[in-house]
Amino acid sequence: MAKKIALSACLAGKNCRYNGERKGNPELIEKLEKEGCEIVYFCPEDACFGTPREAMDLTVTPEGVKALTKFSREDRTGPIVEYAEKFFEEHPDIDLFVGKARSPSCGVCTGKLYDEEGNLISEKEAGIMAAEAKARGVEAKDDESLM
């Protein structure tokens, strides 16, 4: 049976990145299509906040790891978690989650984590939606690890 893959929409060249620019991974899409995979696209940030939008950083706060906008420091974690929960409830049969590397929403093992003073603590974190995939036991990989 074909694998069902959840994939960050920007990897397919959709201009949903925070700055509206395209930065796809056409080789990966071609590889998955050749393998006969069923691909379900997602983009929590575009769905919740529109494009373009202020970029976010994963930040350690007293309430845990949050996605805060880079300059206005608005906490955007809640809507992304809600989007992710709804996505996985609608697609309980996902075999593999593939997230855009380094994204604070979708990166799987490559997200940058900062403290509240803006100091870099780690570059190996899961973004907010990727963390939801992992918490549900869904296998999850960064796009770059599949190439």
The contact set with ligand SF4 (CB under 6 A) reads 8-10, 16-17, 43-46, 100, 103, 105-106
Residue whose CB is less far from ligand SF4, 1 or 147: 147
How does strand 96-99 pair with strand 64-69?
A: unpaired
At 12 the three-state DSSP class reads helix
Q: Least distance to ligand SF4 from the beta carbon of 55, Å?
A: 9
Residue whose CB is less far from ligand SF4, 37 or 101: 101
Distance CA 89, CA 133 (A): 11
Tokens encoding 75: 């906490």
Residue whose CB is less far from ligand SF4, 10 or 37: 10
Residue whose CB is less far from ligand SF4, 106 or 113: 106
Distance CA 70, CA 12 (A): 25
Q: Least distance to ligand SF4 from the beta carbon of 62, Å?
A: 25
Q: Least distance to ligand SF4 from the beta carbon of 115, Å?
A: 23
Q: Least distance to ligand SF4 from the beta carbon of 41, Å?
A: 8
Distance CA 17, CA 127 (A): 15
Output the CA–CA distances (angstroms, integers) from residue 75 to 17, 57, 80, in the order listed: 18, 10, 10
